[in-house]
Amino acid sequence: GSSREVREQEEEEVVFDPTQGRLFQHQEEVPRLPIPELKDTCDRYIKALEPLIEKDMLEETKGYVEEFLQGQGPSLQEELHRLDQENKAGSWVSGFWETMYLENRDPHPIHTSPFFVLSPFARMKDPLQVLAALIRSTASFHHLVRTGNLGPEKAGDKPLCAYQLPRFLASSCVPAKGRDVYISEPSANHITLNIQGNLFVFQVMSNEGEIISQELCVKAIKKCFKDVSRKESDGVDTMIPIFSAGDRDTWAVVRAALSENNASQLSVIDTSLAVFNLLQGEAGSLEEASQIAMAPPLGWFDKLQFNVMQNGQVSLNMQHAACDGHTLLSLLRHIRSELVEGEGVGGGEKGRG
């Protein structure tokens, strides 16, 4: 099959409530996203059009905008206020955001998935050691979030909304005809390892947050790598992940066919913390590293995915449907802190895309 499970039996599922921890302690202080006045919205629309269209077309458009202000506009403005009242956890824009990403049928690479290239680590170069350290740090971050023990994020002295964080890791944008389905599983304790399109899943922590050791994590990666080498010697190719890089409706059809025999394997990939791609070769420049980060070969574009090259270069590609850049930066800050303090590694992150 396209997925081989090498993890231990999962523990009994535990329900986590991150809102009871310090992560959400300032959530009530976060201001609501305001709804602009209808006239202000229309004025800004006209101003945005001024450098884009001819003068006669602009004047014609102003007439349509005035008709909108006197006609349908006020009732639609009331609808925005109703949506805002209904969505206490998010805002009036939440539904539009989800529709924009989940109903977009274009491929995720290039069109919707931002990517980051991390600065080279100062001392850790071995790709298996780097990969294991990334896996372990990602797991520890996930446990801090799901238990609410991650410190609250702030911009200066102003608290940031924590709503996206519990839906970031262990989530997936599952392809479906017309509109994808976004799922998240905070109780997940496993990751997906992708080696040349071969997908493996193994457990990396307990419900209590006990993280797999660096040594055992490297050992698990090596076990997977040996299996890939055996498949190659047998002439077996695994190309399933390539469909996740295409248009969403085609991927939905392919996945539906796969689900007849592989539903449980696909589900365990969906709920894994993230996908970790162990790639062949090295990036010779930042431009080349950026191209790999944007569209890693045989990547799995339904989820957050890390890319590790053979020289230890790290990049990642983010699933954008439910999260913004500041959520990803929270994870990157945690990874950098843990690698520096725990592994003696120096580095940073550079956003691209």
Per-residue pLDDT tens over the stretch 229-241: 887 767 666 788 9
Per-residue pLDDT tens over the stretch 177-200: 999 999 999 999 999 999 999 999
Question: What is the rounded average pLDDT for all residues in the chain?
Answer: 89
Q: For residue 351, what pLDDT is reported?
A: 43
Q: What is the mean pLDDT of residues 312-318?
A: 93
pLDDT at 335 over 70: yes
Per-residue pLDDT tens over the stretch 119-135: 877 778 899 999 999 99
- Considering the domain boundaries, does residue 219 fall inside one? yes
Active site residue 320: yes
**Amino acid (1-letter code) at residue 23:** L
Instruction: Kindly state the percentage of the chain with pLDDT values over 70.
Output: 91
- Considering the domain boundaries, does residue 134 fall inside one? yes
- Considering the domain boundaries, does residue 198 fall inside one? yes
Which residue's entry shows tokens 């523990």?
A: 11
- Considering the domain boundaries, does residue 174 fall inside one? yes
- Considering the domain boundaries, does residue 265 fall inside one? yes
Specify the higher pLDDT residue, 36 or 264. Answer: 36
Q: Are residues 66 and 177 in the same domain?
A: no
Instruction: Kindly state the percentage of the chain with pLDDT values over 90.
Output: 67
Q: What is the 3-state secondary structure (H, E, C) of 232-246?
A: HHCCCCCCHHHHHHC
Q: Are residues 64 and 178 in the same domain?
A: no
Q: For residue 3, what pLDDT is reported?
A: 42
Q: Are residues 148 and 173 in the same domain?
A: yes
Full-model pTM: 0.88
- Considering the domain boundaries, does residue 11 fall inside one? yes
Q: Are residues 122 and 79 in the same domain?
A: no
pLDDT at 53 over 80: yes
Q: Are residues 74 and 218 in the same domain?
A: no
Q: Are residues 77 and 194 in the same domain?
A: no
Q: For residue 353, what pLDDT is reported?
A: 39
Instruction: Provide the domain count of the chain.
Output: 2
Q: Are residues 117 and 238 in the same domain?
A: yes
Q: Are residues 57 and 204 in the same domain?
A: no
Q: With b meaning 16 or more CB within 10 Å and e meaning fewer, what string describes 57-86? A: eeeeeeeebeebeeeebeeebeebeebbee
- Considering the domain boundaries, does residue 293 fall inside one? yes
Q: Are residues 117 and 246 in the same domain?
A: yes
Select which of 142, 320, 326, 334 is catalytic. Answer: 320
Q: Which two tokens stand for residue 237?
A: 């190719």
| Domain residue limits at 128 | 3-28+107-352
Per-residue pLDDT tens over the stretch 282-300: 888 899 999 999 999 999 9
- Considering the domain boundaries, does residue 230 fall inside one? yes
Q: Are residues 59 and 111 in the same domain?
A: no
- The CATH number assigned to the domain holding 295 equals 3.30.559.70
Q: For residue 239, what pLDDT is reported?
A: 83
Q: Are residues 61 and 154 in the same domain?
A: no
Q: Are residues 11 and 57 in the same domain?
A: no
